[in-house]
Every structure is written in C-alpha cells, then in structure tokens.
Amino acid sequence: MARSRAQIYQKWSFMEGDPIISSAIGLLVTSALGGHETSGDVVFIEKTPAAEKDKRLANMVDEINDDLAPLFNRVAYTLAYNGAVFGDSYARIYADRGGIRDLYVDELVRPPIVQPYEKGTRTVGFMIYAGDKMLERLDISQLARLKMPRTLWVPQFQIVEKAFRTALTENDMDKLPVLPASIGGSFLYQAEEPYDNLLASLLGLVGQRWMDSIDEQMVGVNLETMTADQQEKFLTSIIGMLKLSKDRAENAVKTGQPVMERIRHIIPVWGEKQITRLDQMQNGRNATISVEDVMLHAKLLSGALGTDLSMLGFSELLSGGLGDGGFFRTSAQAAERARVIRGALSDCCNAIIDIHTMHRYGTVFLPSARPWSINFYGSISALESERQRTRQDAMAAGQSLIQAIRDLKDMGASQDFISHFLTKQMLLDEDQAKMYSQIANEPDTRGKRDPRVRLSGSDETEDDE
C-alpha cells in the first residue's frame, strides 16, 4: 500500500537503530570504501592520462586533491551510510571564491527532512524542513546529493496526474516540469517484512521468557472452627510470610547477594491441613517459541540486506575458519551492493568538485572531459575473490586441455582425429579445435637440444657435443 513520505522515512529510521541492520549496512559501506592501511583514506582524486600530459590540468588536479580529499575522507562514510539506509544522502556545501571550504553532513541535512526536486533525472533544488511551517530553499551549489540507483519501486503518494502526464509527453528536457523526487534506492525497503517478522519473533521469545519466570500459585487456607478474630490473625500471619519471602527474593536480586541461611515458617495445624496448594497459574500458551523461529527470520533478514548472518553477531555459525561461504568477502551479493555504493559516491564527489572548480577556476568540465577520476583504495574484496577464483578455474581448465592434446599427440592421433575429439568430446568451438589440432603436424622437440648451444657451467666438450 502507498505510504506518505513521513511514514516511509519513519519506518526506515526505526529499522536503522536495530543492531543487526546497522551492522549489516556498516559492513556493506566499509567493504565498498575500504581504506588505506596507514592513513585510513578512502577516496582518492587522481589525474587521468590526458591530464598527465597537460601541466596546467595536472596542477589543477593536484590543487583539487589538496583542497577536497581531506573533506571527502571525513564525510565519505556518513554519506554512504545514509545513502544505503534512506536512498539519498546530502552534504551542505560552504564555498567562497577560493572554492569549497567545508562540507556538513550531520543532523541538519538528514534525508528525512530534505525534499529534492528534479527536472527529468537532474536534481535542480531542495526544500529543507526547518521547523513548524518553516521551509528553506537551497540550490545545487549549496547542497550536494548522493542518489542511490532506483532498483525497486517504493509505493508512495505521488504527484498530481497532470504534471505526471506532462513529464511523460514532453520531449524537450528544458521544458520538463520541476517535480518532487520520489523515495527509493534504500537497502532497507526489501528488508521491511523480514525485519517485522524478526522483531515479532524476538518479542514473542522474550515475552515467553518473562511469562515463564512468573511463579504464581493459588493457596487455600482452612478457617473452619476459627472465630472471626482468629481468622483475621491467621490470614494476616500467612500474608505476612508470603510478602516477607517476596521481599527477601527481590532484595537478593537487587544486591546480587545470595541468601545463605535456612528459612523456616511455622504454621499451626489441627484437625486437618490448614493450607492447601492448588495448581500453578497457567498462562494459557499452547505452543512455545524457540530460537529456531528467531534464526529463520534473522537469516531472511540478512539475505535481504546482502550480508552473511555470521558477520552480524551470530559467530557460532562460522565453521572451519571462514565457514561454509562465511565471511562477507565471499558474498557476491555484498560485493554488488558495495559497487553500487561506490558508483553513487563517485557521482556525488564529482558534483562537489564541479562546484569547487566553478568557484575557484570559473569553469565546469563536461563529464567526459574531466581531468580527474575518483578512485578508492584497493578493490572490493568479494569481487576480487570471485575474480581470482574465476582465473584459477580458467587456468585449471586450460591445463586439462593441454594435457588432453598432449596425450592425443603421443598416441599418434591425426589432425582430423584431434579436431573431432576436441569438438565432440570436449565441446570446443570448431574453429578453436581446428587451430589446436595443428599440433599433430608439428615435430616433437621434447628432450632435444640445439647442438650449437653449450650449457653454462657444463663440463662437456665440443667433441662430446
């Protein structure tokens, strides 16, 4: 069902405070940004090959790196984290004629209070909620936006139908209407249902434990043949003993000191038992909630977030060091999401640099002509692991192919036989099989040596050769 902007952001803000979700988002962000092993820098502004050949452009990129690299490294984690949670993230830009002086990414520009406006797919301005009936307007030179790709549609109340039709039918980009941007791009949207189920199962499990911790019984007191005064004194004595036992247990829990003495209560009995114990109070629960119920929803939640559950506080799932597919660095899904974060952060950094060059140098480069490139320290570990594994598999397949061709040649197989075997049995393309089968016509040079070449350090003479 469609929800309002405030309802969607309220839900995601509540989920953001959960330790499992915050840990998962933190893992995705740190795997995307990496970090230099000594300086801790995560964003690097480097010269393109074209700028290396132009001294003026090279000096400009060096100045940009000196001015903005420290700012980027300070705000990169916050920008990426908020972008992964809310789908958008913002940085307030403070600039003068010398360029950008500072970037602010904290509470005053938190995504739930910022409404971006777009013209087509271009961000053209912002409205910021600053209190009751107070809205502040900022343009793209004052506020930078990190926009995550919109891969899933989040049902929400939309713009009026007339403006929507105009945006679809207009061909001229300059005539497109300025419309409020929709919410999207968050990693939390597809995790809402697993999170709700996990929260319900946790509350049920904790509530069950609380209910089971209550030991309540019904006690019957026989007051037959007693006078009214005796009945009152006897009930007062019984109630006092029960309250004293309750206070003693409560005090032991508060002070953390166990009761080391034996406690005895004396109840006079005549005729028949004065106190009769009835059945224990039942809570009416027909079924119990086990930890397996919680783990099921926790696994679904971690899968929706793209991280391994063993990295979110469930280390007992690890086995054999990294586990059966354990660390997040072996998770292809985490790697792909980390790459999405990198792309969005790179676009945001480029937009900020454009504002800087406009103020300081009076020029803005086209995206294809920028003399700089935004790079990150090292590669995403999960992608690197998959790349190395693919390379090793390819090398192993190549070695097997070479061994098969060698065996066929040693058998004395003809070129046509080798080509047919490679095509039908090893499923190679026909043109590749023909090329590889030419080895049958080549002379066998294994174990032979050019007689004109003398090995270094050899004791053999020319006559021996």
pLDDT digits (tens, 9 = 90+) for 89-137: 999 999 999 999 999 998 889 999 999 999 888 999 999 987 666 788 9
- 363 pLDDT tier (thresholds 50, 70, 90): very high
* pLDDT value at residue 321: 43
Mark whether 404 and 368 lie in a shared domain: no
Mark whether 73 and 100 lie in a shared domain: yes
Is there a contact between 272 and 154 (Cβ–Cβ < 8 Å)? no
Q: Which two tokens stand for residue 28?
A: 């995705």
Answer yes or no: is 350 within a domain. Answer: yes
- 72 pLDDT tier (thresholds 50, 70, 90): very high
Answer yes or no: is 449 within a domain. Answer: no
DSSP 234-254: HHHHHHHHHHHHHHHHHHHHH
Answer yes or no: is 310 within a domain. Answer: no
Mark whether 58 and 121 lie in a shared domain: yes
- The per-residue pLDDT of the chain, averaged, comes to 81
**Residue with more model confidence, 461 or 81:** 81
Mark whether 369 and 427 lie in a shared domain: no
Tokens 């969005």 found at: 344
**Position 65 pLDDT exceeds 90:** yes
Mark whether 357 and 437 lie in a shared domain: no
**Position 449 pLDDT exceeds 60:** no
Mark whether 352 and 424 lie in a shared domain: no
For the four alpha carbons of 368, 370, 376 and 379, in that order, the dihedral sign comes to positive
Answer yes or no: is 238 within a domain. Answer: yes
**Position 382 pLDDT exceeds 80:** no
Answer yes or no: is 91 within a domain. Answer: yes
Q: What percent of the chain is modeled with pLDDT above 70?
A: 82
- 278 pLDDT tier (thresholds 50, 70, 90): low
**Position 379 pLDDT exceeds 70:** no
Structural domain boundaries enclosing 244: 219-280
Mark whether 250 and 364 lie in a shared domain: no
**Residue with more model confidence, 239 or 327:** 239
Mark whether 52 and 174 lie in a shared domain: yes
Answer yes or no: is 289 within a domain. Answer: no
Q: How far is CA 145 from each of CA 89, 105, 114, 338, 348, rounded to the nearest angstrom?
A: 6, 11, 10, 18, 6
Answer yes or no: is 384 within a domain. Answer: no
Mark whether 183 and 239 lie in a shared domain: no
Dihedral angle at the C-alpha atoms of 426, 430, 431, 435, nearest 10 degrees? 50
- 10 pLDDT tier (thresholds 50, 70, 90): very high
Answer yes or no: is 397 within a domain. Answer: yes
Q: What total number of domains does the chain contain? A: 3
Q: Flag the least confident range among 243-247, 359-363, 454-458.
A: 454-458
Closest among 229, 249, 184 to 9, alpha carbons compared: 184
Q: What is the 3-state secondary structure (H, E, C) of 267-312?
A: CCCECECCEEEEEECCCCCCCCCCHHHHHHHHHHHHHHHCCCHHHC
Mark whether 374 and 414 lie in a shared domain: no
* pLDDT value at residue 70: 93
Closest among 77, 75, 69 to 28, alpha carbons compared: 77
**Position 147 pLDDT exceeds 90:** yes
Strand partners, 441: none
* pLDDT value at residue 316: 58
For the four alpha carbons of 278, 280, 282 and 288, in that order, the dihedral sign comes to negative
Mark whether 116 and 28 lie in a shared domain: yes
Mark whether 38 and 87 lie in a shared domain: yes
What count of other Cβ atoms lies within 10 Å of the Cβ of residue 420? 15
* pLDDT value at residue 322: 46
